[in-house]
Amino acid sequence: MNVTLDFNDGKSLDESSESFNLVKMATPLFAGVRSSKCLLPLFSVSKNSRIQLSSNYNQLVSNRNRAAYRSWTLIENGVKSYSAKPSWYDGRNGRCLQPQTVRCYSETTEDKTTTTEDGAAAVAADDMPTEKEHNIITDQEKVTGRKEKLEFQAETRMLLDIVAKSLYSENEVFIRELISNASDALEKFRYMQMTRDDLPHGQPLEIHIAVDQEKSTFTIQDTGIGMTKRELVDNMGTIARSGSKAFVQQLKDKDSAEAADSNIIGQFGVGFYSAFMVGGTVEIFTRSQLPDSKAWHWKSDGSGSYELSEADDVQSGTKIVIHLKKDCWKFSIESDVKDIILKHSNFVGAPVFLNGKKINTTQALWSTEPKKVTEDQHVEFFQFLSKNTYDKPRYTLHYRADAPLSIRSLFYIPSRSPLPWEMSQQYDSGIALYSRKILIQPKAEKIIPKWLRFVVGVVDSEDIPLNLSREMLQNSALIRKLQTVITSRFVRYLQDNAKRDPAKYDQFFDEYGVFLREGIVSSQDQIEKEDIAKLLRYESSALPPGQKTNLMEYGDRMKAGERNIYYICAPSRELVEGSPYYEAFKNSDREVLFCYDDYDELALLQLREFDRKLLRSVESEMAGNQGQAENVDETTGSVEGALSESEGDAVITYLKDVLQSKLKDVTVTNRLGSHPAMINVPEMGAARHFMRTALKNRPEAEKVQLLQPTLEINKSHPIVHKLQSLQKDNPELARLLAEQLYDNAMIAAGLVDDPRPMLNRLHSFMEKALEKF
């Protein structure tokens, strides 16, 4: 293996060089230009390959973490490839090296390469597939005429200082603000072209951005309406005067339909001044598209004054040149600027070019008519939003509305199961909030409720109230209304899909049902709770195992006069059907819903009622806490094989003596058949939840004291019979049996979180029981 790195200053670096590991240890990540796939090869090249970088040795060593070189060429044998953009991860230093371009090809002969002006190896154009570049930014502008120095007003200087230092949370948003201004200029020009005949037609409406690391500049230029001298003074010399907002107001005053359909973004008139967050000096070259307009040059350092003069060789539109501050050099790196544009302004209406390459290629599907969007487009857009190229949307909701609010939205539910950390309420929302296709919040917490955090999507609304920086929402009734509208529509969408394809929905519910239960628990509105409850699915005593039903279908099967929906909670159907509470209830010939999830009980407790029917747990019904519910029939009189009244009273007295403070009372029941006893606690479900949360780490005696359980015994059960006889024959064994009877009943009631403390007594009980064998 012989690897050599060549530099422009004539120096070379091979494996014997001391600093070779600076590059050898880095891992190149190739992101293809002609395809969206990402190639992640290890750092390895073919024998006798040479890597040529258009930089010099000292730059690589001293500035290896700042992408100091502009381009490089990889020359190696192999199949002819295509252009790619590399990002080298320096494992030793934990940072990325980001050269600008890479070209790969098979022919390694020297006559296939040429030398550029800066000494970089390049490939002949006819041998290399290249991306067509289109750039209108030049340095041909010239300042002519007398410079006129003007002062900002005193209050304007104060506001300018606030905008530059305090208004925005991140200085990167200046790119968003300038692109928005450029988009507005294009929109104004488009409208004026339709209403006037004396303006140029046919030229493309575009936004171009150029960055230069050597000069440390950021330049943005548009082909929009441009500005006259008066507009330049009014708009640039006065903060908080929005030319875009004034333009929309003019359309409204004319009763123009364009006012409603306008894509104008600007509202506050402060976006331009965000340039001073990163720029020491800001220049503007502009020429209005109006006939016979002169070109002008505007320049300021943001300290309180600006210069205004005529200029020559200025293209129509507006060009802004920002001379970056020393600590803002990253905004002259193409890869960093590209990431910021794709984050904030990827869906702006006009094409955006960065150093000649169009970068906003993803379509804003939410603004497209739903019928015109294909399934493949939805898959691609979902993968773009979720940053997961291996998943597809399970459900897609494309929702548009103009009343009561203007909403353009697109929601996806992933096909995969939720990941463990997504269950946490601290997990971020998957909804990005836009206003007129400009990103406001990448993780909008207030637009949808927390329980819908598994949804991935976009909401775009012109009606949302923004603060001055356009980064935060005003806390208003309008935001709450927006959340209500979106939540209601999404729940209704799931209901429709549950009817259309029950099997597919059942699979979704099995994986994402925990979020729906959380929605019922967290919602403060009963109507919303009941809407979400329509999405719940349960097995039922009236249906065969595996078949699920819902609360609406349960209501349809209820007999005339019944007002209660009954449910019982246990981990499985087997445990439900073996429960003493279900045994005592099933003879009443009423349907019972089987709830297997831990959160089902809490959700139904919070729901309380559904469609004017009360939700009642079977345990609460057994405890006699019925309110206006129906009484459960109970067999009266003597039962065959049961203890006599006196014998039963003796057992009750004995249990009270043995268990003492563990019980509130001991009673006799005739509702049990195969079970010797059961525990009753008022509001059993709430008690279980209270035990698992507030009382989780409390002593067992304190828990029992708060629960005040009642033990109901079955006088006809053999165990109770044996307990009665053991009181005299074997008191020690009788005591162990009484305690085990109580613990078994507590476990059946779900009121014991940790049964391990009873193991020693259980061993003693078995030992005593086996003494005769």
List, as residue ranges, the binding site.
Answer: 177, 181, 222, 227, 235, 242-243, 267-272, 318, 470
Strands (E), 55-103: 72-75, 84-90, 95-97
User: Binding site for ATP: residue ranges?
Assistant: 177, 181, 222, 227, 235, 242-243, 267-272, 318, 470
585 by Cβ neighbours in 10 Å (0-12 / 13-18 / 19+) ranks as buried
Strands (E), 474-617: 539-540, 564-569, 592-595, 609-610, 613-617
- From residue 357, give the alpha-carbon distance in Å to each of 101, 130, 143, 152, 345: 12, 11, 29, 37, 15
- Quote the Cα angle for 40-41-45, to 5°: 155
Strands (E), 295-405: 295-300, 305-312, 317-324, 352-354, 357-358, 393-401
Cβ-count burial 480-516 (b if 16+ within 10 Å, e if not) = eebbebbbeebbebbbebbeeeeeebbebbebbbbbb
Which residues are CB-contacts of 744 (< 8 A; sequence separation ≥ 6)? 676, 677
DSSP 509: H
Alpha-helix runs per DSSP H in 313-447: 334-344, 375-386
How far apart (Å, rounded) are the C-alpha atoms in residues 368 and 657? Answer: 76
Which candidate, 694, 702, 695, places its Cα nearest to that of 661? 702
Q: Would you tell me how many other CB atoms lie within 10 Å of the CB of residue 693?
A: 9
Is residue 71 within a helix (H) or strand (E), and if so which, with residue range? none
Which candidate, 480, 484, 606, places its Cα nearest to that of 533? 606
The length of the chain is 773
Q: Would you tell me how many other CB atoms lie within 10 Å of the CB of residue 604?
A: 26
By three-state DSSP, how is residue 669 classified? coil
Contact 102, 128 (CB under 8 A): no
99 prior amide bond cis, ω within 30: no
CA 308 to chain centre: 47
- Token pair belonging to 648: 């039963």
